[in-house]
Structure 1
Amino acid sequence: MQAVVLAAGKGTRLRPLTEDKPKGMVEVDGKPILTHCLEQLVELDADEFVIVVGYLKEKIISHYGDEFQGVPITYSHQREQKGLAHALLTVEEHIDDDFMLILGDNIFQANLGDVVKRQSEDRADAAFLVEEVPYEDASRYGVCVTNPYGEITDVVEKPEDPPSNLVMTGFYTFTPAIFHACKLVQPSNRGEFEISEAIDLLIQSNRTIDALPLDGWRMDIGYPEDRDEVEERIQSTESKESTVAPQ
């Protein structure tokens, strides 16, 4: 599969870390957030990266060039940051078939491969990881409602009164049908074109959207303290792995 990475944002909440670099170039455990994302996608056999760039894009382009670990990179430019659905539309001309999508400010140590496998085997129109969060935190995310078969039946972006505590994470797979849905999205109350609204339009057109429970952990690097917590998690995992005796 091709892999789309959204990395156009300014990361204003991460300042001062983003005063002279885009959000994806902030280092976590000695390497940029984007490098963590790309390494994970290489493990999932991505055959091409399409990276959406915007704010200080030259920093990303000069760092990664035309390929990463032998996988070619195409860059797509989002000149105005108008939401994830808007960012996704910039890559439409580069996408040939089903593809992976990762938000370039998320770091995972989780079952991403399960999502790719589900997309490949079931030919769903979308699949993504979901996780349960405390109800009081759910209003910060895209909140999902599922049926007994694990299919998404409703998605609401940052609701004041969440219908559940099941939220979307930053990793998805889609068919190209998502692009048509993105074109139909209207600006939200925040003035952005939301990916959750595009997903809801797929649901309304009787498309199949599969939800897979997160097994492991992920973090959205939104604030400087998030970076510190992720570094602790990564180093803790590495320490545990180094102490496991060989079989």
Structure 2
Amino acid sequence: MKAVIPLAGKGTRLRPLTLSTPKPLLKVAGKPVLSFILDDLVQLGIEEVVFIVGYLREAVEAWISQHYPDLLAHYVLQEVQDGTAGAVALAEPYIDSDVLIVFPDAVIEVDYGLIRSLHPGCGGIIWAMEVENYQRYGVIVTDDAGYMARIIEKPSEPVSKLANIGLYYIRDHALLFEGVRHTMISEPGKAGEFYLTDAFQYMVDHGSRILPAPVEGWWDAGKPETLLETNEHLLLSGHGGVDPGATVDDAEIQEPVRIEAGAVVRGGRIGPNVTLESGASALNCELEHTVVGPDARLQRSRLHHSIVGAHSRVCDAAGSLLVTDHSVVEGRA
């Protein structure tokens, strides 16, 4: 089994953070979102991954090479942002077996063991969850046996609240790419893009049985506010704590927090839901619902619902901030 991970998007909903950092490399609980995904794939036994790259591709490729050197990685440039089907189409020359397709928009918890136990007559799995804001998703309508009958991208009417989350296992890779090619020569969707979900519909219409499977957890990382919510969930789920190599002097700590080795806290109050990465410092600060990148320096600041990039300096600031890497913010706290 191989994997395909589309990474070419610009992450516009996360600007200005993504002006310098690729969206999949933004961190929650001290770890890039992409790393949570790749760790799962490695544990699953996947050794070969096709990365569809574009925006800030050099940073993405360098990070993968450094942190996953044993992974056989193929990098394919998506020059035109023409949708999810367009991205996956670029992987076809590298896929000659069953394939896992993962869109790195969230931290996901699923039972990958379903792949091994999948009935031989099934063509694949679409992981899905019940949502209320169905208009934002591709939603799945099932038949009486529980298999996918239709998938509708961002419907205006509540035909279903079972939303696909961007994680797919496809056993019949040949029919998948036949469906992708058919989609690419059809009329594009509302936004002028070609949707991978139309390729899945093609597969079903040509006799494939695709099974919707439940999601144990899905934590969005596509917007600043959801990134912070995901950070809190992870801190509460075993990724928090104060590292013995951190320095904390005369400060109030309100769990959950993650204070990494080399971080320095003097005075003030930290938490709840605060991550201070390695080398970061917070001197006489009050921080809550805030992520602070490595080697950032904060002084006399009162921040909430903020993300501060690596190597940044924030002094005498108050309120909610989004600060890119290597930036300087000076205010009047």
Distance apart, 1:85 and its partner CA: 0.5
Give the Cα separation in 2 of the matches to 1:118 and 1:161.
34
CA RMSD in angstroms, aligned pairs only = 1.8
Residue number in structure 2 paired with 1:101: 101
Residue number in structure 2 paired with 1:209: 210
User: Is residue 220–residue 230 contact of structure 2 (8 Å, CA) maintained in 1?
Assistant: no
User: Is residue 29–residue 234 contact of structure 1 (8 Å, CA) maintained in 2?
Assistant: yes
Residue number in structure 2 paired with 1:71: 71
SS in 1 for 2:61: helix
Distance apart, 1:47 and its partner CA: 2.0
Structure with greater Cα Rg? 2
Of residues 105-114 and 34-43 in structure 1, the stretch that sits farther from structure 2 once superposed is: 105-114
| Selected match of 1:159 from 142, 155, 162 | 155
Residue number in structure 2 paired with 1:230: 230
| Within-5 A mapping of 1:71-90 | 71-90=71-90
Give the Cα separation in 1 of the matches to 2:94 and 2:213.
27
Distance apart, 1:126 and its partner CA: 2.2
| Selected match of 1:142 from 116, 138, 141 | 138
Matched, 1:127 2:128: no
SS in 1 for 2:9: coil
Of residues 145-154 and 86-95 in structure 1, the stretch that sits farther from structure 2 once superposed is: 145-154
Would the alpha carbon gap of residues 239 and 46 (structure 1) be closer, same or farther in structure 2, given more than 3 Å must change? closer
Give the Cα separation in 2 of the matches to 1:67 and 1:107.
18
1:218-240 Cα distance to aligned partner (Å, 9 max, x none): 12322111111111111111179
SS in 1 for 2:19: coil
- Letter of the aligned partner of 1:117 in structure 2? R
Give the Cα separation in 2 of the matches to 1:148 and 1:193.
29
User: Is residue 29–residue 239 contact of structure 2 (8 Å, CA) maintained in 1?
Assistant: no
- Letter of the aligned partner of 1:191 in structure 2? G
| Structure with the higher strand share, 1 or 2 | 2
SS in 2 for 1:52: strand
Residue number in structure 1 paired with 2:164: 168
Distance apart, 1:123 and its partner CA: 4.8
- Which ranges of structure 2 fall in alignment gaps of 5 or more residues? 241-333
- Which ranges of structure 1 fall in alignment gaps of 5 or more residues? 241-247
Would the alpha carbon gap of residues 4 and 67 (structure 1) be closer, same or farther in structure 2, given more than 3 Å must change? farther
1:142-179 Cα distance to aligned partner (Å, 9 max, x none): 01011232210000000100311111112101121211
SS in 1 for 2:193: coil
The normalised TM-score by structure 2 is 0.67
User: Is residue 28–residue 234 contact of structure 2 (8 Å, CA) maintained in 1?
Assistant: no
Residue number in structure 2 paired with 1:117: 116
Give the Cα separation in 1 of the matches to 2:19 and 2:239.
32
- Identity among equivalent positions (%) equals 32
Give the Cα separation in 1 of the matches to 2:112 and 2:15.
29
Give the Cα separation in 2 of the matches to 1:123 and 1:20.
46
User: Is residue 137–residue 163 contact of structure 2 (8 Å, CA) maintained in 1?
Assistant: yes
User: Is residue 86–residue 194 contact of structure 2 (8 Å, CA) maintained in 1?
Assistant: yes
Give the Cα separation in 1 of the matches to 2:191 and 2:109.
31
| Selected match of 1:180 from 172, 178, 194 | 178
Would the alpha carbon gap of residues 236 and 200 (structure 1) be closer, same or farther in structure 2, given more than 3 Å must change? same
Give the Cα separation in 2 of the matches to 1:158 and 1:61.
32
- Letter of the aligned partner of 2:108 in structure 1? F
1:81-126 Cα distance to aligned partner (Å, 9 max, x none): 1111000000000111101011022211232332x2245x425222
SS in 2 for 1:49: strand
SS in 1 for 2:85: helix
User: Is residue 48–residue 71 contact of structure 1 (8 Å, CA) maintained in 2?
Assistant: yes
Distance apart, 1:66 and its partner CA: 7.8
User: Is residue 52–residue 75 contact of structure 2 (8 Å, CA) maintained in 1?
Assistant: yes
Give the Cα separation in 1 of the matches to 2:198 and 2:181.
11
Would you say how many aligned residue pairs link Structure 1 and Structure 2? 235
User: Is residue 124–residue 210 contact of structure 2 (8 Å, CA) maintained in 1?
Assistant: yes
Of residues 202-211 and 67-76 in structure 1, the stretch that sits farther from structure 2 once superposed is: 67-76
Structure 1 runs, 4 residues or longer, greater than 3 Å off: none
Matched, 1:193 2:189: no
The normalised TM-score by structure 1 is 0.89
Give the Cα separation in 2 of the matches to 1:143 and 1:179.
21
Distance apart, 1:2 and its partner CA: 0.7
